[in-house]
Structure 1
């Protein structure tokens, strides 16, 4: 019995051992199998990762290549011409930058060589001509004529811009600019404007030549690098050229355009003023709540009656007014020798009240002093708007003329008859209307004032006009910001004194 037990125990142990050995063998086979699968899996995963990395670097390389090709094909010229491209300055010192002259041969800007061989730009009239010349700074770039005519002043052509850094000529002479500006008129305009904040533009209405263009407050281009921190910290914006980039509501000077539209569309000129014109339950009133009674176009224009022009604009309608303002180049662009903003009237946004207010220069209309000088010049030149010109010609170092500007009619706005009707009304405005403060004994002046109330309780005051009224030698646009009284009181006397000084001191022939 004991032996059987021992036998059974031995057999059981043998069986258990055999079973354990079998399990171990199976585990070993499984480990081998798992190891093989893991190796296969690791190899597959590694291959996938390598493929991903390879694709990533291929895409990165292609993206970089496309980026370089894009800049080479589409941006190379723009970058080469950019005044902030510091690489260009190394070569600019090897070039004697061209001289900038006014129409009479007065030097506005020239290069002076320092003892170390570097070139320094000198501006003879500093602040007075800054709105025209701009500045030329290695640190802060270029503005004004210095920027827009940079390639001409350096005698660079489009096709060799990309080779600028490879120039082998160690010294060279740029081309000279001859401007339409009369520095005598420019100085007078600056002197009258400098106590204020605003802009003055004076032009020959028959040719489009700009005789003066100034902005205040301004800066001295000779000391831009030294003054930079103070200039950019100044809240009055001395670096902004208000003549070309200042956007203002025009106020009542816009009534010139509305009157032109009325004449073109044969709108009834009669009106009975009660002091209020109600449109869409909104009351439009005259300045000072004045009541004028029976009016026609002339009397409404001379006394600048807002209710009259609101009512007539409503009768004109959006389409008719828009056709007229299109002819006056609103919401259109045109070439000019300085960077500028274009005047706009967002007709799509205007409801009936907005449109009525647009008719007397309020609403959402934005314009520049340059454009208002062009507008009034259109009336002075019997209905033709001339393209404004600031550069008259360009000459090389031998004195040969390389380029000369030509007179160009920008827009045939209206008939001579209608322009002359508006001219005669402008003469009456100066004789007996809102611009009596501009009256000059012995010089017949045509003019129109504009007074624009602002939210801060201050006023933007306008004057536009031309003289002599029946043989215009000059047209003028003045805006004075933050006035405390109407344009007839504030800006009309400035216009009077400035025009009188020009006729007394400058030969306009």
Structure 2
């Protein structure tokens, strides 16, 4: 073999290696990274594909919430019928700023057209190429992607947003038996219809209107966490649940106080009065492993499967001393939670200890109305036994009947609830979680008022009551 032949063989070998490497590289992205690249908010290429109009989005009663049309320049225009109302659920679709919310997570679905329409349009193009008389053929149909039918009730969504008003915070309401999200609103919000004109203001605002507080906001839970501490106490043999509350106590150097001395209290009375002295001591008894185990049953430190981006609630795992255990037992310390997780926590107690997987998208349909995909109720976590869940329900009912949650009372309906006032830098957060009717729950709710400065019982409970009344009147 001469020198020239050897040189040719080396070149061929090098070209072969490069070709194989290219195939491996493309295969990797096609199989393992395709969806990630396609749905990335930085990938503007799918937004430039105007051949398929994005599918529409409807509420559970098929009220149109969002749809697309073609402009004169053939660009696609996305319309959001109710401006700010669904800015954190539906999100936005924009060539410059990408996508968010359902527009992002269901991008492939919304742009996947009906194959029958595609074939039909190709047929029309062939006819047009052969100059067939247009009067003798049907009208060409615009290709449109699949559509989404949500679990959200539009009327309840409007009502909940009105109740929240200008208060900074979140409301999440869920059907505890199915996991269907009935309403999810946040304040502040933004208008996706004029994203270009307002982007600089909303992206730099200290109020962070782009953040979905319901799923991405992380907050100290305060006393609503006592429902988890209570669950742990009832599940753990040997835990003392009767205390003499003198209004203050020191646990491992951590000073705990109450608004008043409650005297001799059992677990039900401690929850009814939200007694810090009692729950601080229960937290110390349960210990780090006990509190962590029961918290993780309620989906702390775990990704909650959901139709839009969701952050994990956080239980500290770095080692806790007695003082930190006392603080954690009352919902303080380093705990951080999302309102969605707290709504799920409440729904699990309402549903005999079973937490259902939360759903935002009820159905996916094509342009002919054919159902392509339908969500089915699915248990996400069994947090406790039906007996313990019913026991806690009775305690929560007393919280509303004669404890800290009396502002959530509904005439003729038993309500189970829990107040929370969470200390943090700045003004306190006000929380209220509840479900109703307590003996046959149809709605579970979490209300967070961020830095409201008031208590959960005075500030958040009335909002929850009004929204529950509205929902129960609709779903009798």
Same fold (TM over 0.5): yes
Moved more, 100-109 or 122-131: 122-131
Question: CA separation in 1, counterparts of 2:264 and 2:18?
Answer: 73
Over 3 Å counting, the alpha-carbon distance change for 1:392 and 1:77 in structure 2 is: closer
> Is the aligned partner of 1:250 residue 2:221?
yes
State the secondary structure of the residue aligned to 2:271. helix
Structure 2 partner of 1:314: 284
> Is the aligned partner of 1:508 residue 2:475?
yes
Question: CA separation in 2, counterparts of 1:69 and 1:171?
Answer: 37
Over 3 Å counting, the alpha-carbon distance change for 1:112 and 1:311 in structure 2 is: same
Q: 1:269 aligns with which of 229, 238, 241?
A: 241
Measured after TM superposition, the shift of residue 154 of structure 1 is 0.4
> Is the aligned partner of 1:130 residue 2:87?
yes
Question: CA separation in 2, counterparts of 1:127 and 1:141?
Answer: 18
Runs of 5+ consecutive residues of structure 2 not aligned to the other structure: 1-13, 115-124, 127-140
> Is the aligned partner of 1:209 residue 2:180?
yes
Structure 2 partner of 1:144: 101
What do residues 465-484 of structure 1 show as CA deviations (whole Å, max 9, x unaligned)?
A: 00111111100000001112
Q: CA RMSD in A?
A: 2.3
Runs of 5+ consecutive residues of structure 1 not aligned to the other structure: 1-58, 158-167
Matches for 1:464-479 after TM superposition, within 5 Å:
464-479=433-448
**What is the count of residue pairs matched by the alignment?**
435
The answer (yes or no) to whether the contact 2:44–2:98 under 8 Å persists in 1 is no
Moved more, 210-219 or 272-281: 272-281
The answer (yes or no) to whether the contact 1:438–1:492 under 8 Å persists in 2 is yes
The answer (yes or no) to whether the contact 2:419–2:433 under 8 Å persists in 1 is yes
> Is the aligned partner of 1:344 residue 2:314?
yes
State the secondary structure of the residue aligned to 1:393. strand
Over 3 Å counting, the alpha-carbon distance change for 1:119 and 1:462 in structure 2 is: same
The answer (yes or no) to whether the contact 1:387–1:410 under 8 Å persists in 2 is yes
Q: 1:176 aligns with which of 127, 133, 147?
A: 147
Q: 1:73 aligns with which of 28, 33, 46?
A: 28
Structure 2 partner of 1:330: 300
Over 3 Å counting, the alpha-carbon distance change for 1:467 and 1:174 in structure 2 is: same
State the secondary structure of the residue aligned to 1:172. coil
Measured after TM superposition, the shift of residue 125 of structure 1 is 1.6
Over 3 Å counting, the alpha-carbon distance change for 1:88 and 1:276 in structure 2 is: same
Q: 2:403 aligns with which of 433, 441, 463?
A: 433
Measured after TM superposition, the shift of residue 502 of structure 1 is 3.0
The answer (yes or no) to whether the contact 2:301–2:315 under 8 Å persists in 1 is yes
Structure 1 partner of 2:7: none
The answer (yes or no) to whether the contact 2:110–2:146 under 8 Å persists in 1 is yes
Structure 2 partner of 1:89: 47
Question: CA separation in 2, counterparts of 1:449 and 1:65?
Answer: 63
Which is richer in helix? 1
Over 3 Å counting, the alpha-carbon distance change for 1:432 and 1:175 in structure 2 is: same
Question: CA separation in 2, counterparts of 1:451 and 1:484?
Answer: 9
Measured after TM superposition, the shift of residue 293 of structure 1 is 1.3
Over 3 Å counting, the alpha-carbon distance change for 1:64 and 1:309 in structure 2 is: farther
Structure 2 partner of 1:155: 112
Structure 2 partner of 1:396: 366
The answer (yes or no) to whether the contact 1:194–1:217 under 8 Å persists in 2 is no
